[in-house]
């Protein structure tokens, strides 16, 4: 039996043919899209009918890089470079515990939902001693909010005393990292079709982990059959660090330690030369493009036009809330387009390509393109219904341009796995006002703890 029919909307399917319907419908049964097409919706007895006149239906957005714990440390070091920002915030982050992570994750995930995101990753790499189970904390928050979740077990083992950037008291021992990572995979990873929860392995960055950790974590991930993620080539400082410490570029270092392939995606990938782009193309390595965070930290503008031209898979990421206070994935589509055009001219990226990066592009990065990222019969019912009748969007000729180039529209509906998570621009699964109050208290407590 059909559960929902959403009718009379403009539909951008983001399928392989770029199919759009100026007036169409989508039908959902259980967690699956069972019908869609142009024109009036057929009768589906017993279904809940949603009138979406004046709306645009898209696949749910897919966020390929985030740091949810940072939701309670926004607004700090607002005018700093990446390395300055990190050294300011590491002492604050050292005070997090499982309760703080749960509060931060609930706030960050609820906001992602309100801005059209149905699937998100998270890169959690700060694991203080005696903090409790920070991974359970964010995983239970995702289940509560109702988003499809791909958290990554992050780690750091290269402290300042050994030439790394993070303070020694926020790094872990190699054996503890490997044991903890395996435990997270064993407990939480669900590889089954339609999975709401999949784990990846994610040492933090070349300047915060040892070569041994990179090599050992790659072996662990590939033995367990999970994906691999890390930051790479985000700043000029990182380029200089890699040249001094490893005698080459960040990409050359990754190739040497076995961190390339279709099971790997890098966050940022800003400072890549032609050889690095060719390496990613040749090996099938993907990238999470985070234009807002890169601009906020003055890190630079990724070469998306060249990466796409080389066939590199690219998704979008909001990055951590402490370097992107907005954390709106639809805004990342806009910034990806604007920054690509600022580098390559008006034809460097179209509005539909920008939307594609935030949907099927992200799904490909996570290896879920057969299940999510486009609106097609048989795919999972992860979709967003954007209200374009407001003063901000009424009268914009092209609905996709209205979404990508305009301000973020309110959501008439956000559906994840066939379940309603946002209705009439309010999150249905958690109390937004309570979450906001909890976040404010957790922020003050953490900042005070840091002194």
Rounded CA-CA distance 335/294 in Å is 10
**Residue in the structure block whose two tokens are 């419908």:** 25
Rounded CA-CA distance 49/169 in Å is 55
Q: Cβ(142)–Cβ(106) under 8 Å?
A: no
Strands 48-51 and 314-316: unpaired
Rounded CA-CA distance 69/299 in Å is 22
Please give the CATH superfamily to which domain 61-365 belongs: Metal-dependent hydrolases (3.20.20.140)
Instruction: Name the helix (H) or strand (E) containing 404.
Output: helix 399-405
SS3 category, 395: coil
48 DSSP β-pair partners? 4
Scored b (16 or more CB within 10 A) or e, 372-404 reads bbbbeeebbbbbbbbbbeeeebeeeeebbbbbb
Rounded CA-CA distance 439/447 in Å is 12
- pLDDT in single tens digits along all 451 residues of the chain: 999 999 999 999 999 999 999 999 999 999 999 999 999 999 999 999 999 999 999 999 999 999 999 999 999 999 998 889 888 998 999 999 999 999 999 999 999 999 999 999 999 999 998 999 999 999 999 999 999 999 999 999 998 899 888 888 889 999 999 999 999 999 999 999 999 999 999 999 999 999 999 999 999 999 999 999 999 999 999 999 999 999 999 999 999 999 999 999 999 999 999 999 999 999 999 999 999 999 999 999 999 999 999 999 999 999 999 999 999 999 999 999 999 999 999 999 999 999 999 999 999 999 999 999 999 999 999 999 999 999 999 999 999 999 999 999 999 999 999 999 999 999 999 999 999 999 999 999 999 998 7
* Residue 145: CB atoms within 10 Å: 25
Rounded CA-CA distance 63/332 in Å is 10
What phi and psi, each to the nearest 5 degrees, are found at residue 50? -115, 115
Residue 19, both tokens = 């199919």
11 DSSP β-pair partners? 21, 57
Q: Where are the beta strands (DSSP E) in 247-304?
A: 264-268, 286-289
Q: pLDDT tens, 175-213?
A: 999 999 999 999 999 999 999 999 999 999 999 999 999
Residue ranges, comma separated, of all CATH 3.20.20.140 domains in the chain are 61-365
Residue ranges, comma separated, of all CATH 2.30.40.10 domains in the chain are 4-59+374-427
Rounded CA-CA distance 174/70 in Å is 24
Class for domain 4-59+374-427, per CATH? mainly beta
Rounded CA-CA distance 186/223 in Å is 12
Counting DSSP H helices and E strands in the chain, the numbers are 15, 17
Q: How far is CA 310 from CA 65, 190, 274, 275, 283, in A?
A: 22, 32, 10, 11, 12
Residue 284, both tokens = 């099938």
Q: Where are the beta strands (DSSP E) in 60-176?
A: 61-63, 117-124, 148-155
Planar angle of CA 385, 391, 395, nearest 5 degrees: 80
Q: Cβ(95)–Cβ(37) under 8 Å?
A: no
Q: How far is CA 348 from CA 148, 316, 344, in A?
A: 31, 17, 5
SS3 category, 356: helix
Name the packing angle between helices 174-188 and 211-224 (round to 10°): 20
SS3 category, 417: coil
């Amino acid at each position: 039996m059909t559960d929902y029919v959403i009718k009379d909307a403009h539909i951008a399917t983001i399928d392989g043919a770029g199919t759009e319907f100026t007036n169409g419908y989508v039908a959902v049964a259980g967690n699956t899209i069972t019908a869609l097409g142009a024109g009036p919706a057929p009768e589906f007895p017993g279904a809940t009918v949603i009138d979406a006149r004046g709306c645009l239906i898209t696949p749910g957005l897919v966020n390929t890089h985030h740091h949810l714990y940072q939701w309670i440390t926004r607004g700090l070091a607002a005018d700093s470079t990446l390395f300055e920002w990190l050294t300011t915030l590491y002492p604050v982050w050292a005070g997090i515990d499982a309760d703080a992570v749960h509060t931060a994750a609930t706030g960050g995930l609820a906001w992602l939902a309100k801005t059209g995101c149905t699937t998100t990753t998270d890169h959690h790499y700060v694991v203080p001693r005696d903090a409790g189970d920070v991974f359970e904390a964010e995983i239970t928050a995702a289940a509560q909010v109702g988003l499809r979740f791909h958290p990554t077990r992050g780690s750091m083992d290269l402290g300042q005393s050994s030439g790394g950037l993070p303070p020694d008291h926020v790094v872990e021992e190699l054996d503890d990292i490997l044991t903890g990572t395996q435990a997270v995979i064993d407990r939480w990873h669900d590889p089954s079709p339609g999975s709401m929860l999949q784990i990846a392995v994610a040492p933090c960055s070349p300047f915060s982990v040892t070569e041994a950790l990179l090599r050992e974590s790659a072996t662990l991930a590939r033995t367990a059959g999970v994906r691999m993620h890390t930051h790479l080539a985000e700043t000029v400082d990182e380029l200089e660090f890699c040249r001094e410490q490893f005698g080459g570029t960040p990409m050359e270092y990754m190739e040497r330690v076995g961190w390339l392939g279709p099971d790997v995606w890098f966050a940022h990938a800003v400072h890549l030369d032609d050889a690095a782009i060719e390496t990613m193309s040749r090996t099938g390595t993907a990238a999470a493009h985070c234009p807002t965070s890169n601009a906020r930290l003055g890190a630079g503008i990724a070469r998306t036009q060249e990466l796409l031209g080389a066939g590199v898979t690219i998704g979008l990421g909001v990055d951590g809330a402490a370097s992107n206070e907005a954390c709106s994935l639809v805004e990342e589509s806009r910034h990806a387009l604007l920054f690509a055009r600022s580098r390559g001219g008006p034809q460097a990226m179209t509005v539909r390509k920008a939307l594609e990066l935030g949907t099927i592009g992200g799904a490909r990065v996570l290896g879920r393109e057969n299940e999510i990222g486009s609106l097609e019969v048989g795919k999972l019912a992860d979709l967003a219904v954007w209200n374009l009748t407001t003063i901000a969007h009424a009268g914009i000729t092209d609905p996709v341009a209205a979404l990508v180039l305009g301000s973020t529209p309110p959501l008439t509906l956000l559906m994840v796995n066939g379940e309603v998570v946002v209705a009439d621009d309010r999150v249905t699964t958690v109390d937004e006002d309570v979450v906001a109050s909890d976040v404010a208290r957790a922020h003050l407590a953490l900042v005070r703890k840091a002194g």
